[in-house]
Structure formats: C-alpha cells, structure tokens
C-alpha cells in the first residue's frame, strides 16, 4: 500500500497507509532519541494499545494519559503532562508518540510543539477522522471556551503511520464521523473519491477492507498534496476548512459535548451547500447530490434546541475570521470549491436556518 510524502520548505516526512503500519513504530524513533513518551487516553490504550505495545517491545518507553472528549481538549491537561514529563526525566532529546483519535493527535502534537520549545512527534492515529485529516499536516492545538483550536501551532511530525486495521474495533459512530471528512475530501478536490463513496456506500459502511483502504489512501493523498502546496494555510489549504466554519460554531455552541467533530462538519457542509446555492457559487446543480450523500452517511445527533442566532454570533470567533470578515469555503461542483468572503449576514442566517430542523 502507498506512502505519501508531505514536503514543505521546512521538512519532509512519510505518511504511510498500510495494514500493519503500527508495527513500524520503532523504526521511526531517531537513533539518538532520549526518553520516548506514548501519549494516549486510558480508553485507547486499553482497547487498542496492543499493536503499539508489540511494536515497541524492544524499546524503553513511558505512557502518559490525556483525558478523552472534545470538552477536555484544553490547555490544562497539556500543561499537566508537560509537568509529568519533567518529573519523569524528559529533556530536549525526548520524543512523543501520539496514539489516538484527533483529540489526542492534536493535543499530543501540541505538547511536543511547546515542550522545551519543541521535541519530535510521531503521529499514529487510531480513528478514521484522525487518519484522513487530523494527524496529517502538522496542525496541533487545543480549544478555548470561545472557540475551537484557538491555541495551537504548526508542528510537523517525523512520520504518520496509518494502519486501517486498527479501525476494526472503532465504534460505529466514530467511524461514521470520520467518513464525513472523507466525503469532504471528495467534495473539495476528489471527484472520483466522491463518486466512489456514492457507488460503494454499502462496502464503505460495512468496513470492507478494500473500500476502507481505498478511501483512506485517496483522502491522505489529497491531504498530503494540499499541505505540501501550502503548509501554513495561506492559500489552497483553506479548502480543507469546507464545512468547518459552521461546524466549529456548532461544536462551541453545544460545549463540545453533543457532536463529534466529524458530525459537526457534516452539518457544516449542509449549511455550506445551502450558502453556496444562495450565493450562486455552483457551476452545476450538484447541491442535492452532496446533501444526499451527507445524509446517506448519517445520521448525526439531534439539532433540536439550537438557536440559529447563537451560531451566527459564534462564526466571528472562528479563527478563519480575519478583521471581522468571515470567509467561507463554498462548493462550485463536486470536486471543486472556492473561498468567498463578504457574504451578507442574512444569507448566512438563512443557510443556518435551512440546515436546522
Ligand atoms: N484539518 C484541516 C487542516 O489540516 O488544514
């Protein structure tokens, strides 16, 4: 199976997509590395730790636990782990292995980014969402009460090891949440991937190995190309935020407790499709097809009781808002999006309302 490379002005690293890739972990520990810290959650380590434990059986390492849950993705647990690392003798030669879903890969990556001004991190994502998006591309960070990922840093890993076999034990809801990021990849840049998801939804939902491997590889290829073209999100990387501006507002409004990130993005993609139609960004009448596919990979939790005006208010706190202007990634056709700013507030409000029950 394939290896894709992220190549930036500062670094180059492999993103390996392969069944059994976790078994390669020891190979990616630099020869002169000091203490190795596996950062994970108790839950992930209990249920999915075995392959990494086997891969590291010849290595000395220590395990550090983060709390699980998007509402715990805050600065305090990162600081607590940094303290613990110091107590356990960490220094500038230490390294982190991030092992978990997107919350873990973001937080452990951020810990590595700021510990003694930066130590290496090896990313080993264990959920579909982290494999196809969060762990690839070096974005790390934590949430503020005011908004999602408002503290963070770009910190590219030594490598990303993506092992589709680990998804066998992933809860159904987590798996579907990851599928929305795959759908996003199709809508923004990968027409063939989108049509594959349309034609093979049964196999994808049943987690047939060939289907899972294909959708992961295609999403990761796309992501590595985009990040290689624009590491710091000054240009093309912005398209990866399709559905995220609305989705982040939904996550913050529900205190990071009702929706998984991918589910909030699914809702955000619906709202972005609505807004694209209102702004006439579509070159083809593809909106209905996009909506149908987002529904097909659902359902997402209930949206009852969410006030549209609160979501509108939260959009301005998103980090994609620059000098008070909210920028939206809106669809042009399946496989193509564009960045639009200066959208009239009433159209944004209407798009939100149309995506709520
Ligand atoms: N998750 C969006 C990005 O990596 O840019």
327 bridge partner residues: 341
Can you tell me which atom of ligand 1 is nearest the CA of 138?
4
Can you tell me which atom of ligand 1 is nearest the CA of 241?
2
Spatial distance between the Cα atoms of 357 and 345, rounded to a whole number of angstroms: 20
Q: Please choose from 133, 149, 262 the residue to mutate so as to test ligand 1's pocket, defined by most ligand atoms within 8 A of CB.
A: 133
Crossing angle of helices 172-188 and 261-279, in 10° steps, is 30
Residue nearest to atom 3 of ligand 1 (CA): 240
pTM of the model: 0.95
Contact 75, 140 (CB under 8 A): no
Spatial distance between the Cα atoms of 104 and 64, rounded to a whole number of angstroms: 11
Residue nearest to atom 2 of ligand 1 (CA): 240
Alpha carbon 330 to chain centroid distance? 19
Q: Please choose from 139, 156, 242 the residue to mutate so as to test ligand 1's pocket, defined by most ligand atoms within 8 A of CB.
A: 139
Nearest to 166 by CA among 50, 303, 277, 267: 50
* The two structure tokens encoding residue 78: 């990162």
Distance 59 CA to ligand 1 centre (A): 32
What are phi and psi for residue 249, nearest 5 degrees? -65, -40
List the chain pLDDT tens, one digit each, 357 residues. Answer: 699 999 999 899 999 999 999 999 999 999 999 999 999 999 999 999 999 999 999 999 999 999 999 999 999 999 999 999 999 999 999 999 999 999 999 999 999 999 999 999 999 999 999 999 999 999 999 999 888 899 999 999 999 999 999 999 999 999 999 999 999 999 999 999 999 999 999 999 999 999 999 999 999 999 999 999 999 999 999 999 999 999 999 999 999 999 999 999 999 999 999 999 999 999 888 899 999 999 999 889 999 999 999 999 988 766 666 666 788 999 999 999 999 988 988 999 999 999 998
Q: Please choose from 102, 137, 220, 234 the residue to mutate so as to test ligand 1's pocket, defined by most ligand atoms within 8 A of CB.
A: 137
Contact 258, 294 (CB under 8 A): no
Can you tell me which atom of ligand 1 is nearest the CA of 136?
4
Spatial distance between the Cα atoms of 215 and 162, rounded to a whole number of angstroms: 12
Spatial distance between the Cα atoms of 137 and 15, rounded to a whole number of angstroms: 10
* The two structure tokens encoding residue 141: 């960070």
What are phi and psi for residue 332, nearest 5 degrees? -105, -50
Contact 246, 343 (CB under 8 A): no
SS (H, E, C) 65-105: EECCCHHHCCHHHHHHHHHHHHHCCCCCCCEEEEEECHHHH
Domains belonging to the chain, first-starting first, are 3-169 (3.40.50.1970), 172-355 (1.20.1090.10)
Spatial distance between the Cα atoms of 357 and 136, rounded to a whole number of angstroms: 34
């Amino acid at each position: 199976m394939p290896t894709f490379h992220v190549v930036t002005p500062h670094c180059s690293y492999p993103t390996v997509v392969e069944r059994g890739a976790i078994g390669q972990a020891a190979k990616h520990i630099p020869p002169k590395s000091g203490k190795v810290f596996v950062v994970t959650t108790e839950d992930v380590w209990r249920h999915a730790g075995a392959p990494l434990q086997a891969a590291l059986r010849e290595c000395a390492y220590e395990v550090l636990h983060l709390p699980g849950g998007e509402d715990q993705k805050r600065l305090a647990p990162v600081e607590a782990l940094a303290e613990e690392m110091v107590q356990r003798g960490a220094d500038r030669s230490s390294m982190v292995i991030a092992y978990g879903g997107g919350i873990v890969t973001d937080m452990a990556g951020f810990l590595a980014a700021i510990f003694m001004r930066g130590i290496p991190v090896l990313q080993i994502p264990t959920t579909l969402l982290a494999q196809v998006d969060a762990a690839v591309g070096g974005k790390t960070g934590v949430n503020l009460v005011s908004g999602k990922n408002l503290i963070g840093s770009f910190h590219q890993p030594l490598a990303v090891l993506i092992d589709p076999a680990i998804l066998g034990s992933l809860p159904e809801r987590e798996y579907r949440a990851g599928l929305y990021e795959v759908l996003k990849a199709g809508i923004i840049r990968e027409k063939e991937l989108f049509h594959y998801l349309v034609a093979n939804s049964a196999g994808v939902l049943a987690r047939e190995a060939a289907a899972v491997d294909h959708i992961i590889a295609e999403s990761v290829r796309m992501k590595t190309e985009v990040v290689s073209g624009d590491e710091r999100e000054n240009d093309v990387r912005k398209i990866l935020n399709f559905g995220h501006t609305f989705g982040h507002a939904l996550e913050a409004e529900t205190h990071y407790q009702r929706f998984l990130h991918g589910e909030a993005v699914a809702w955000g993609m619906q709202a972005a499709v609505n807004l694209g139609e209102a702004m006439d960004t579509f070159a083809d009448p593809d909106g209905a097809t996009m909506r149908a596919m987002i529904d097909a990979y659902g359902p997402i939790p209930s949206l009852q009781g969410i006030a549209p005006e609160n979501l509108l208010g939260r959009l301005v706190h998103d980090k994609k808002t620059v000098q008070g202007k909210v920028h939206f990634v809106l669809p042009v056709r399946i496989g193509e999006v564009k960045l639009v700013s200066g959208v009239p507030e009433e159209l944004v409000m209407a798009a939100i309302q149309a995506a709520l029950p």
